[in-house]
């Protein structure tokens, strides 16, 4: 799924990678732009056109990356509309910058009894990196909860909403494993010493990890669009709940594994936060092995020209929005 007037190259590359790895499943690309919809249909993609929601009355949020934060919550409504058109099916939404392993347990999701499933990056923050809905009732619960949250606080993000949802409806939500069981890689303070990112008790969480964001940011790099075109690979991310620097990583038989102490788990999905298009094509695992060979040397800084251009444009549009807001205030 990708909402907006432009589809980045990595999104389509990832779509084709997933369809190639999972030919037995219906893989759909959801958009809300009519021209993009028609263009993708001509390429014989399985594409679905979602209704475009009107922008909210928040100039700053509408201007930042062409309403990025608004689109992230609008995805929930698009997902619900898509589900209404496929009422007999369960659906799994995979974010366009999430790499999934060829061993990703697609069929295991059918064994989930809860209405929704997604990973957490901390006990309070949920991620739609892999978001599963068992039925239309699950998608409807998500949109109703989102609407209620935004009515109270329009500045909430999709991650805030999913975090609140997991707390408000624990029986209807299955938390996907996004970290190991070992408590050595989590905060040691008394309030969180017993909390891990091992997810809910369920067979789908028995072996592998569904990355929320931390593993992908560490291993693939930070988004260069956030920092003058510079992507930081192997950042220890001290502000994250999972102490990712304490983990060891390896590649075996085209699978990536994370190890801490005597616990080794396969990584089923990896959030490519840097949007590195090279990691969506060809032999990803071979390229990743080359990445890991540099990890022992510490933090690695990479420059991206497109990231720099994006950074400049982001702040240009924010500045324009601020000037317009100031101008309107003076006129009133």
User: What pLDDT score does 235 carry?
Assistant: 92
Side-chain-side CA neighbours of 301 within 13 Å: the count stands at 4
What digits encode the pLDDT tens for the residues 70-81? 556 888 999 999
> Which residues, 6+ apart, have CB-to-CB distance to 17 below 8 Å?
99, 280, 281, 284
User: Locate tokens 């950042």: which residue?
Assistant: 235
Instruction: Give the predicted TM-score (pTM) of the model.
Output: 0.86
What digits encode the pLDDT tens for the residues 19-32? 999 999 999 999 98
What digits encode the pLDDT tens for the residues 230-246? 888 899 999 999 999 99
Q: Which of 189-193, 287-291, 311-315 has the highest mean pLDDT?
A: 287-291
Q: Which residue has the higher pLDDT, 61 or 298?
A: 298
Is the pLDDT at 62 greater than 50? The verdict is no
Mean pLDDT of the chain: 85
Q: What is the largest CA-CA distance in the chain?
A: 66
At the topology level of CATH, where does 9-331 sit? Spore Coat Polysaccharide Biosynthesis Protein SpsA; Chain A (3.90.550)
User: What pLDDT score does 321 carry?
Assistant: 55
What digits encode the pLDDT tens for the residues 184-229? 999 875 444 458 999 999 999 999 999 999 999 999 888 877 777 7
Q: 101-121 in b/e burial notation, b at 16+ Cβ within 10 A?
A: beebbeebbeebebbbbbbbb
Q: Which residue has the higher pLDDT, 227 or 293?
A: 293
- How many other C-beta atoms can be found within 10 angstroms of the C-beta atom of residue 22? 14
Average pLDDT over residues 326-331: 52
User: What pLDDT score does 319 carry?
Assistant: 58
Closest CA to 267 of 277, 275, 255, 276: 255
User: What pLDDT score does 328 carry?
Assistant: 53
User: Locate tokens 């260069």: which residue?
Assistant: 224
User: Locate tokens 């990708």: which residue?
Assistant: 2
> Which residues, 6+ apart, have CB-to-CB distance to 188 below 8 Å?
none
Q: Are 271 and 212 in contact (CB under 8 A)?
A: yes
């Amino acid at each position: 799924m990708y909402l907006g007037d432009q589809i980045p190259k990595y999104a389509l590359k990832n779509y084709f990678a997933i369809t190639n790895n999972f030919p037995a499943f219906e893989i759909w690309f959801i958009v809300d732009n009519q021209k993009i919809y028609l263009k993708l249909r001509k390429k014989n993609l399985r594409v679905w056109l979602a209704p475009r929601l009107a922008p909210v009355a928040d100039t700053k949020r509408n201007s930042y990356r062409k309403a990025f934060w608004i689109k992230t919550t609008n995805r929930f409504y698009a997902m619900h509309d898509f589900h209404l058109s496929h009422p007999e099916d369960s659906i799994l939404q995979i974010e366009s910058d999430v790499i999934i392993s060829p061993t990703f347990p697609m069929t295991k999701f059918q064994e989930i009894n809860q209405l929704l499933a997604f990973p957490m990056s901390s006990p309070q923050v949920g991620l739609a990196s892999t978001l599963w809905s068992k039925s239309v009732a699950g998608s409807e619960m998500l949109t109703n909860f989102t609407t209620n949250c935004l009515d109270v606080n329009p500045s909430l993000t999709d991650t805030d909403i999913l975090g609140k949802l997991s707390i408000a409806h624990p029986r209807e939500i299955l938390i996907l494993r996004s970290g190991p069981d070992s408590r050595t890689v989590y905060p040691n303070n008394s309030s969180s010493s017993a909390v891990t990112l091992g997810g809910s008790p369920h067979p789908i969480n028995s072996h592998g990890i569904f990355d929320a964001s931390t593993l992908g940011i560490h291993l693939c790099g930070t988004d260069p669009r956030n920092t003058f075109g510079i992507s930081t690979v192997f950042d220890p991310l001290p502000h994250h709940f999972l102490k990712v620097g304490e983990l060891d990583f390896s590649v075996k038989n085209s699978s990536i594994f994370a190890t801490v102490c005597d616990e080794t788990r396969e990584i089923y999905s990896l959030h490519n936060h840097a949007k590195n298009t090279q990691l969506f094509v060809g032999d990803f695992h071979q390229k990743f092995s080359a990445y890991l060979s540099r990890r022992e040397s510490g933090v690695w800084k990479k420059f991206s020209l497109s990231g720099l251009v994006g950074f400049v444009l982001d702040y240009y549009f924010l500045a324009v929005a601020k000037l317009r807001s100031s101008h309107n205030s003076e006129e009133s």
